[in-house]
Amino acid sequence: MAVSPFDGITLALSKGRIFEDTVPLLRAAGIVPLADPESSRQLILPTNRPDVRLVIVRASDVPTYVQYGAADMGVAGKDVLLEHGGEGLYQPLDLCIARCRLMVAVPQGFDYARAIQRGARLRVATKYASTARDHFAQKGVHVDLIKLYGSMELAPLTGLADVIVDLVSSGNTLKANQLEAVEEIAAISARLVLNVAAWKLNRSRMAPILEAFSKGVAASG
Ligand code: ATP
Ligand code: MG
């Protein structure tokens, strides 16, 4: 079966906070989605501009769509980009949205400093296995990584792991589960990402969007 041709710019976004926070930047670029991904089942959303469409994918799939050129550009959290590795992508713009921190969190009262000094292995549960592995390797801490896909907070409470690596914004979810953040791995915000080849071939159409996003970010202070 042939893929229907689309001769415009395809932008990959995830539902939820990334979509909501990107809509004002799109508007600044003169782009208005013609459907709402929360209520529509459509995964390809047309916009007011016939030469621009949106594709709605899982947050962690955005870099993959852009890397392989299925989308020309996308919006992805730095957490997702760190874990992906960034191959085939340009990351020209920090959109300063979806801000939070990637952190190590432990049960309240857990002696983290001692745990990482002992030379014993630390059991770490996380969705960010590659980033966590790099972080603890840099510190010279031996870890057993346990890959999870959500609700990381449950892991230390059930004895699955000693600590977790997860995103933290207010800290309320940690607190509600008797956990506390003890170490920052990275400050996180969403980035505009571009497919390297698309940027070379289609720069004249992509540059104005990048430019408008850039002005929109500056204007939102
Ligand atoms: P999925 O629901 O598909 O598993 P997800 O839970 O990662 O994906 P979101 O919760 O929408 O999807 O998160 C998308 C991005 O928003 C994350 O990759 C991260 O960069 C950022 N983010 C996640 N949680 C927060 C938060 N509490 N505050 C601010 N930004 C966040
Ligand atoms: Mg989430």
Of 90, 80, 95, 98, the residue nearest 25 (C-alpha): 95
Residue 77 pairs in a beta bridge with 190
**What does the pLDDT read at residue 2?**
76
Average pLDDT over residues 179-208: 98
Atom 17 of ligand 1, nearest CA residue: 77
Per-residue model confidence as pLDDT tens digits over 81-135: 999 999 999 999 999 999 999 999 999 999 999 999 877 899 999 999 999 999 9
Sign for the pseudo-dihedral over CA of 98, 103, 106, 110: negative
How far, in Å, is the centroid of ligand 2 from the Cα of 159?
A: 23
Which ligand 1 atom is nearest residue 98's CA?
30
* pLDDT higher at 2 or 178: 178
Report how far Cα 215 is from the mean position of its chain's Cα atoms.
Answer: 22
Q: How far is Cα 92 from Cα 74, in angstroms, rounded to an integer?
A: 11
Average pLDDT over residues 198-213: 97
Tell me the one-letter amino acid at 109: G
The chain-wide mean pLDDT, for the chain, equals 96
**What does the pLDDT read at residue 91?**
98
The label of the residue with tokens 């890397």 reads: 67
**Residue 124, Cβ neighbours under 10 Å: how many?**
25
Which ligand 1 atom is nearest residue 190's CA?
20
**DSSP assignment letter at 47:** B
**What does the pLDDT read at residue 1?**
67
Q: How far is Cα 174 from Cα 82, in angstroms, rounded to an integer?
A: 23
Note the pTM of the prediction, 2 decimals: 0.96
Considering the chain, what percentage of its residues have pLDDT values greater than 70? 100
Atom 3 of ligand 1, nearest CA residue: 58
Considering the chain, what percentage of its residues have pLDDT values greater than 90? 95
Residues whose CB is less than 8 angstroms from the CB of residue 140 and which lie 6 or more positions away in sequence, other chains included: none
Which ligand 1 atom is nearest residue 78's CA?
20
Contact 90, 202 (CB under 8 A): no
- The ligand whose atoms approach the alpha carbon of 56 most closely is 1
Which ligand 1 atom is nearest residue 15's CA?
11
> Which of 83, 100, 173 is the best mutation target for the ligand 1 pocket, counting ligand atoms within 8 Å of the beta carbon and taking the most?
100
Per-residue model confidence as pLDDT tens digits over 143-191: 999 999 999 999 999 999 999 999 999 999 999 999 999 999 999 999 9
Which ligand 1 atom is nearest residue 17's CA?
11
Atom 30 of ligand 1, nearest CA residue: 98
How far, in Å, is the centroid of ligand 1 from the Cα of 100?
A: 9
**What does the pLDDT read at residue 5?**
85
The label of the residue with tokens 């400050």 reads: 187
Which residues does ligand 1 sit against, CB inside 6 Å? 14, 16-18, 58-59, 77, 79-80, 98-100, 167, 169, 188, 190
How far, in Å, is the centroid of ligand 2 from the Cα of 106?
A: 20
